[in-house]
Amino acid sequence: MMRFKAKVSHKFAESPLLELRLPAWRSRLMALLILFSFVVLIGRAFYLQILDTDFLQEKGESRYRRDIEITASRGRIADRHGDVLAISTPMRSIWAVPPAVQLSAEQTQQLAALLETDAQALTRKLTTDKPFVFLRRQIPPPVAAQVAALKLPGIGQDQEYRRFYPTGEMTAHMVGFTGVDDKGLEGAELAFHGKLLGTPGSRSVIKDRRGQIVEDVGSIKPPQDGEDINLALDSKVQYLVYSQLKQAIADSKAKAGGAVVLDARTGEILALANWPTYNPNNRTSLSGAQLRNRALTDTFEPGSTLKPFTIALAMETGKVRFDTPINCAPGRLRIGGATISDTHRYGVLSVAEVIQKSSNVGASKIAAMLPAKTMWDMFDSVGFGQVPSLGFPGEVSGRLRPWKTWRPIEQATMSFGHGISVSLIQLARAYTVFARDGDLAPLSLTRVASARPRGEQVFSPQTAREVRAMLEMAVRPGGTAPRAQIPGYRVAGKTGTARKLEGGRYTTKKYVASFVGFAPASDPRLVVAVMIDEPRGKYYGGEVAAPVFAAVMAGTLRTLGIAPDAPLEVAQSGKPATKARL
């Protein structure tokens, strides 16, 4: 048998069957693409790690680094002399990260006791699905230190501030108060919130997965404390106004009241008080009535305190003079289907006596001489029907209807303060036209640099001085307010007594008594306005509001060291003048 031996001429790996014939350019292209990809990756890595590290740094730090806000201290509120009315004190807030909290029953009891809460209520807060909860806000630092000493996982604390008001309810309506988040909610705290607030800072810390700070890595931005505010208010005068108003409300068993003291030269509000009031340091049980700053937010019909404006306009336009006779007999005046009456049956009165005796008939007859538009323009020019624009929360414009809708009876009643409503601050400001020789003072809540800011000239100096003389007559014997007199000072002012509206009708059981005046009448420095709402028993402005005016004005004149301009005597209606005892 013959055996054949096969001869292999080439290797298996070099078999022609396995040979792949490709163009040479294709392999070169693939090599270039791979090389380009490596270049792009290296370039990107170089860009992220060398040139622009912010992105990766931010992503990395977000896993462990946090920026914690550093609370700024709210600015102080002080009176014109620098006495503090509102100040922030450092406190602590206790918070928790519920998912990280693991407390034993004993630890829960300890924490609840320090936070002055129930253990069950605390447990409910700690078992919530929320990632963050406050356990207690604004606790004293010593208590916060005891909480920190427990070293409880998931429990932390931050610094914050609590507002403290040293003068309490005395200045509550002027200063206002802040909420738990240090935001102004009422009064000057709200009016000047932007300036008082300040700018919070921040610091960077490293936290672990439980939210605990393990390292402080430095401060990013220091806080900028809020700006201090100096109000025009004088604390001594404010206390005087507050105490006198409170006593008057108690004596007359009235529903409410308010009083305002203005510097006639600068327009600064030296004092503003209301009753009822509240303690801004303890607001656990407050009602809306207590919070209302009635001197700015409530309106009332001012009654006869508006007569001087009607008469000033008639004198300014040449309709009447100081001694022009006005026939007020028989004490009644019928206009349309309505009757206007005086409290007494007067005969012929001079224009000055219309103010002195407060004759509604006389004021109505004088108003009838004036065009409705001219009278409306005058009321508008002294600020009635307009928001005072003090920047104070809740300011109101009052009610001054368009002159085109006035009927003759309405124009007549407006001349003696019915059918129009004003706030106490509007009324006090309006009287500055008589105290400043016809110039209406711009009001200010804060101290004014100028000795006499320029206002708006409403009446001529001559008219203002003549009306001022009439207002002096109103507080002398024979006038409606002899109880407004002050020993040693010439006083000028006007009473107001207005019935209140109920169901669209004037009631005969509820009144608003008021008095507005200024002193010393020879060179007016102060304007004081008083309003007593629903006094019981006596209700005339001369009996209820005028004595408050006298006490407030006398005390303020002495406090400010304003020199007397009259003999030290007190003259009562129907009695001879007697020397006053100092």
Q: Out of 304, 358, 359, 364, which one is annotated catalytic?
A: 304
Q: How far apart are the first and last CA of the chain?
A: 163
Report residue 546 as tokens: 């005028």
Count CB neighbours of 11 within 10 A: 7
CB 356 within 8 A of CB 370: no
389 noted as active-site residue: no
66: number of CA atoms within 13 Å, CB side? 14
Kindly report whether the peptide bond that precedes residue 276 is cis, defined as omega within 30 degrees of 0.
yes
Report residue 499 as tokens: 């019935």
Q: How far is CA 99 from the centre of its chain?
A: 42
Residue with token string 């409290």: 343
| Sign of the alpha-carbon torsion through 134, 204, 152, 132 | positive
Identify residue 558 by its one-letter amino acid code: R
Query: Who's near 146: CB < 8 A, 6+ residues apart?
Result: 114
Query: Who's near 385: CB < 8 A, 6+ residues apart?
Result: 379, 397, 398, 399, 400
CB 159 within 8 A of CB 151: no
Strand 84-96 and strand 155-164: the pairing is antiparallel
- The one-character DSSP state at 322 is T
Kindly report whether the peptide bond that precedes residue 330 is cis, defined as omega within 30 degrees of 0.
yes
* C-alpha separations of 41 from 31, 387, 417, 524 in Å: 16, 69, 87, 86
Count CB neighbours of 553 within 10 A: 26
546 burial level (CB within 10 Å; 0-12, 13-18, 19+): buried
Please list, residue by residue across 15-35, b when 16 or more beta carbons sit within 10 angstroms of its beta carbon and e when fewer do: eeeeeeeeeeeeeeeeeeeee
Please list, residue by residue across 329-365, b when 16 or more beta carbons sit within 10 angstroms of its beta carbon and e when fewer do: eebebebeeeebebeeebeebbbbbbbbbbbbbbbbb
CB 182 within 8 A of CB 74: yes
* C-alpha separations of 11 from 4, 16, 19, 20, 21 in Å: 20, 10, 12, 16, 18
Q: Which helix (H) or strand (E) is 526 found in, with range? A: strand 526-533
Residues tagged active-site: 304
